[in-house]
Structure 1
Amino acid sequence: MTTEHRAFADLPFSVGQVVRGEPFTVSEEDSDHFERGTWLDRAYPEGDVPEFPDTLIEGFHLLSLLDAVARFAAGEAAHDMWGLNYGLDKVRWVSQIHRGDRIVPTFEVLDVQPKDGGFKVLRRCVYTVEGNQVPAMVADWWTYALPRGEFEKGRHG
């Protein structure tokens, strides 16, 4: 595993790079906030589906954490650029994650393409429950990276 690129200009050379983020857990309070914020509590007022364990974390909750978890993994590496969400190609929830599980995130750069003074960057984002061999979630996620100052000038929309 290598460390994350350190500058905007290095993005084209980052293909193949893998960054391991800090393990994290999702608490019951986190799940409750997600359910309220996404109206799941309104959509399913009767509560959880009886067939599902109470501790099971909603897949879209895990997906919604990608931006923050990727930022934590990048640390100071992204100090000279903006990263905007560009979309997802594929997301799979392969195995369950429960509240309290230690989730290990990894991010591998699969592709970098020039676009309007910036770069589209495709990363494979994987969450694995610590101690498991099989990943729990795999997402191929595009971001659009621009050098700091460019977005603020209104050149990109």
Structure 2
Amino acid sequence: MLADDLRALAPQTTRWFEMDAARVKAFADATEDWQFIHLDEDRAKAETPFGGCVTHGFLTLSMLSAMSYQVVEGIEGFASSINYGFDRIRFVSPVRVGSSIRGEFTVASVDEGDGFLDVHWDVLVEVKGQDRPALAANWITRVYLAEGQ
């Protein structure tokens, strides 16, 4: 059964994702958040404690979607899944533009419904070469079951 498979899933670590200036600029344009700390390296160096530009916290958060595809790859029984929400999100430390991040996903619990599962993931987003994570969250995805599951 899919619920039991998910509960037994070992923590999964994704590949690294580069948070380069082009990705940050595209996100700024999509969200209309052009704050200088994301886009103006000289000003960010001079006026912030970060030593240069940092990615948007919401960009780091949104990368969970791309990361999650790797986590559930090969698990059978999904018809589809949606983002159901978050019980907790913490932006623990900034992600400098040009850094790489990856996620570690652990199934915290699985709630069974009629034709769906709510999967609660404990997620940490790690920054390559940094001790503190960038993000810690409890993310809930709703998985709709394939026929016969």
What is the distance in 1 between the residues matched to 2:12 and 2:122? 11
Q: How many residues align?
A: 138
- Is 1:34 equivalent to 2:32 in the alignment? no
Aligned partner letter, 2:60: L
- Is 1:14 equivalent to 2:12 in the alignment? no
What residue is the counterpart of 1:134 in the other structure?
A: 132
Provide the alpha-carbon RMSD of the alignment: 2.2
Match of 2:73, SS?
helix
**Does the 8 Å contact 1:22/1:73 carry over to 2?**
no
What residue is the counterpart of 1:114 in the other structure?
A: 112
Aligned partner letter, 2:11: V
How far does residue 135 in structure 1 lie from its aligned partner after superposition? 1.5
What is the distance in 2 between the residues matched to 1:93 and 1:110? 20
**Does the 8 Å contact 2:2/2:77 carry over to 1?**
no
Structure 1, unpaired ranges of 5+? 1-8, 151-157
What is the distance in 1 between the residues matched to 2:76 and 2:113? 18
What is the distance in 2 between the residues matched to 1:112 and 1:34? 32
Aligned partner letter, 2:86: L
Relative to the length of structure 2, the TM-score reads 0.80
How far does residue 145 in structure 1 lie from its aligned partner after superposition? 0.5
Percent identity between the aligned chains? 23
What is the distance in 2 between the residues matched to 1:18 and 1:85? 19
What residue is the counterpart of 2:40 in the other structure?
A: none
Flag as ranges the 4+ runs of structure 1 deviating above 4 A.
none
Relative to the length of structure 1, the TM-score reads 0.77
**Does the 8 Å contact 1:113/1:120 carry over to 2?**
yes
Aligned partner letter, 1:10: L
Aligned partner letter, 2:29: R
What residue is the counterpart of 1:64 in the other structure?
A: 62
**Does the 8 Å contact 2:77/2:145 carry over to 1?**
no
Q: Which has the higher helix share?
A: 2
Using a 3 Å threshold, how does the CA distance of structure 1 residues 35 and 97 change in structure 2: closer, same or farther? Answer: same
Per-residue CA shift, 1:40-98, capped at 9, x if unaligned? 13xx4xx3363254421110111111111111333333573311111001001111211
Using a 3 Å threshold, how does the CA distance of structure 1 residues 134 and 15 change in structure 2: closer, same or farther? Answer: farther
